Structure 1
Amino acid sequence: MHSQNNTIADKLFAAWRDRQAIEDEAALAASRDAERGRAIQDRLNALFAKAGRRPIGWKLGLTSQGALDLFGADEPMVGVIYADTMLEDGAMLHSAGTVSPRIEGEMLLEVGFMPAAGASDDELLASLASVSAAFEVADSHLLGWPSAIGGATADNACCGWLMRAPQSTSPRDADFEETTMNLTRDGETISQGRASACLGSVLGVYRWFVEDSHRRGRALAPGEIILTGAMGPMIPMEGPATYHLDCPGLGEATLRFGGAS
């Protein structure tokens, strides 16, 4: 199994490098084996590190009960965010740099320090440096997208691209339950939601991640960012188009998509 996992990770790395979908891993795409998915992702992230990619944070996925049920999962999944996926507000994302992109609006947390296991709400808030809105462009290198947690986790939790709103707020001023999200494409609303879609509270999602990090020996460093999951439906991207994200109290961002590279 170890050799098979390494072979799959090698294929995922080549698919990321070449911006192509893997067509012959239907069994992996439908796998509900989260532990195997993590083992493949570990190998894939080692290949990314060897290629010079720099990690800057963590992507949490499947943070709504509906997504957990759909993917056959009993807890969220985690991927690694890399510096080369960060886009500046107003940037153009060329369609040639993606495989099968889907866009969503999220709450983004910036780590101040790693809190202790069993931290209180006040201690969790104190451990954060800032909160802002963000686009996530999720993408998959498995043809047709994964349908279960094992395949999605293996593919680095389908991390694609990220755009952080230029504004931010203090963690103590953020509303981790009632903050709303509105996502438009060329001025037309295509997705709406609120922070409570993320397991009732984004602060609760952060609590889960902190506890999971202590269990797995994962260190959270100052300045790292955490994407906490979709506040509304994830939408397949079409282009050319302009996408705009508005989260009152957290900020706004604009992403252009589909231009020639």
Structure 2
Amino acid sequence: MNARVDAAIDTAVSRLNRAERDRTPVQPVRDLIGEDDLDAAYEVQRRIIEAKVASGRRIVGRKIGLTSVAVQRQLGVDRPDFGVLLDDMVYGDRADVPLERFLQPRVEGEVAFVLGADLPGSATVVDVLRATDFVLPAIEVVDSRVAGWDIRITDTVADNASSGALVLGTRPREPAEADLAGLGLVLEHGGEPVSTGVGAACLGSPAVAVAWLAGEVARRGAPLRAGEVVLAGAWGPMVPVTAPGSYLARFEDIGEVRVNFTGGPDGGKRA
């Protein structure tokens, strides 16, 4: 890596850290690292996560982003990405989650894979199913430190795949017991559907998405390990969260999970 690229990466790290520290979204980082340099974007992500771990936070898993065509269209990108899940991002079913911790939150319904064995970079869908202890219904709270969600692929990768938080259900299911590709999802707010989807929207199947992730992270020197939680990606469009309230994700044959957002509508500065 040459000195110019290294300096641009450092500046991108500082910009995104400033957004989180000051609770104010910032301009995209693609002006610094380009729109297509994924290696630079993942290096920004790595440096941000490395600093968080050094400060006492713990890596508990990974997340796959941009698996759904509907979400890709919402954000103007055409490929999946991945980020890192930290211990303080994780909430249990029906948890009260303060809006103040986010800048521009949106919610998605997903399935979480809890790994019981390591997954190599060459993992197939069969390997994923064998390595998975169980799956759980989940809601991901995505967030962006970039003002107005004005992102391209390098912006969201650098910003830890636009991670915010995750809420995990408590009903474990064996992955082989459910047709993950064929199952439907309804995400409700105030008792009304606000987003719908199907497992096949997630790269054909959530298990396919996890196999893709295994290859990507192994190639970058951080393979999936036993005990990690993997959010496999959205099944339907993201829904903006603009005020306190409850969101319920109902998955066919897997169960449901709810999140309750608390706090005032101006708890965090939002663009």
Summarize the alignment of residues 165-180 of structure 1 with structure 2, pairs less than 5 Å apart: 165-180=169-184
Find the counterpart in structure 2 of residue 56 from structure 1.
Answer: 60
Summarize the alignment of residues 68-217 of structure 1 with structure 2, pairs less than 5 Å apart: 68=72, 71-73=76-78, 75-217=79-221
Q: Say if 2:15 is the partner of 1:14.
A: no
CA distance in 2 between counterparts of 1:2 and 1:33 reads 13
Structure 1, residues 212-237: CA drift from partner, whole Å, max 9, x if none? 23322222221111111110110101
Q: Which moved further from structure 2: 75-84 or 109-118? A: 109-118
Find the counterpart in structure 2 of residue 231 from structure 1.
Answer: 235
Q: CA deviation at 1:24?
A: 6.9
CA distance in 1 between counterparts of 2:182 and 2:28 reads 42
CA distance in 2 between counterparts of 1:30 and 1:257 reads 35
CA distance in 1 between counterparts of 2:98 and 2:34 reads 29
Structure 1, residues 11-54: CA drift from partner, whole Å, max 9, x if none? 21232234321147573698333222112111111221122211
CA distance in 2 between counterparts of 1:29 and 1:87 reads 33
- Asked if the contact 2:70/2:237 (under 8 Å) is kept, the reply is no
Q: What is the SS of the residue equivalent to 2:181?
A: coil
Q: CA deviation at 1:113?
A: 1.1
Structure 1, residues 70-94: CA drift from partner, whole Å, max 9, x if none? 5444x42110011101112111222
- Asked if the contact 1:30/1:146 (under 8 Å) is kept, the reply is no
Find the counterpart in structure 1 of residue 31 from structure 2.
Answer: 27
CA distance in 1 between counterparts of 2:256 and 2:222 reads 31
Q: What is the SS of the residue equivalent to 2:155?
A: helix
CA distance in 2 between counterparts of 1:43 and 1:79 reads 12
Counterpart AA for 1:107: V
CA distance in 2 between counterparts of 1:94 and 1:15 reads 18
- Asked if the contact 2:11/2:32 (under 8 Å) is kept, the reply is no
- Asked if the contact 2:30/2:152 (under 8 Å) is kept, the reply is no
CA 1:242/1:119 → structure 2, altered by over 3 Å: closer, same or farther? Answer: closer
Find the counterpart in structure 2 of residue 246 from structure 1.
Answer: 250
State the number of aligned residues: 260
- Asked if the contact 2:71/2:238 (under 8 Å) is kept, the reply is no
CA distance in 2 between counterparts of 1:3 and 1:29 reads 10
CA 1:231/1:66 → structure 2, altered by over 3 Å: closer, same or farther? Answer: closer
The normalised TM-score by structure 1 is 0.91
CA distance in 1 between counterparts of 2:55 and 2:16 reads 14
- Asked if the contact 1:33/1:149 (under 8 Å) is kept, the reply is no
Q: What is the SS of the residue equivalent to 1:221?
A: coil
Find the counterpart in structure 2 of residue 47 from structure 1.
Answer: 51
Find the counterpart in structure 2 of residue 221 from structure 1.
Answer: 225
Q: Which runs of 4+ in 1 moved over 6 A?
A: none
Q: Say if 2:8 is the partner of 1:4.
A: yes
Indicate the RMSD between aligned Cα atoms, in angstroms.
2.1
Q: CA deviation at 1:207?
A: 1.4
Counterpart AA for 1:180: G
